[in-house]
Amino acid sequence: MRVILKEDVKDLGEIGSIVDVKNGFGRNYLIPRNLAAEANPRNIKQFEHEKNIILAKAKKVKESMQDLAGRISKLNISIEAKAGEEEKLFGSVTSKDIAEAIAAQGIDVDKRKVMLEEPIKRLGVYDVSVKIHQDITATLKIEVKAAGSEEA
């Protein structure tokens, strides 16, 4: 089955591409989710007309995500947590804690977008990635301090 992609689909193609897929994948996944349309002559002609509008919209979204990534990268987040001997935390700092700290700075980020390999379990400064868009990632510095520390 030949389909025209209406959006970028990972491992398949970019918006506007005409690709061959298995019938079931096209009919049961791509078309119902409005990710693609069947590539018949009528749809190809219609899509050529809509393609410029869709590409302009995608460009605006990407530019706004680039701006958001720049704002996130400039943030300096400080999280206080209870710590014991040898700078080990009681518990850990998770992606949820980081997302809440970013939200306190006025930028709403879903905790699933915060990319931590594993929860932070020691005091210190860490670089944390936040996946903003499909191919846009921001990196910010997180400082984990002991609760009640007198550092500013």
Among candidate residues 18, 39, 62, the one where a domain is terminated:
62
Q: Parallel, antiparallel, or unpaired for β 120-122 and 88-93?
A: antiparallel
The residue type of 47 is F
Overall pTM > 0.85: no
Last residue of a domain, one of 43, 62, 81: 62
Please tell me whether residues 96 and 131 are part of one structural domain. Answer: yes
| Domain boundary, last residue among 11, 38, 62 | 62
For residues 6 and 55, state if they share a domain.
yes
Q: Are residues 50 and 85 in the same domain?
A: no
Domain of residue 96 covers 71-146
**Do 57 and 86 share a structural domain?**
no
Residues 57 and 78 in one domain: no
Do 75 and 142 fall into the same domain? yes
CATH of the domain at 6: 3.40.5.10
pLDDT 10s digit of each residue in the chain, 152 long?
999 988 888 889 888 888 999 999 999 999 999 999 898 888 888 887 777 787 788 889 889 989 988 888 888 889 998 888 888 888 889 999 999 999 998 888 888 999 988 889 999 999 999 998 878 899 999 999 988 655 44
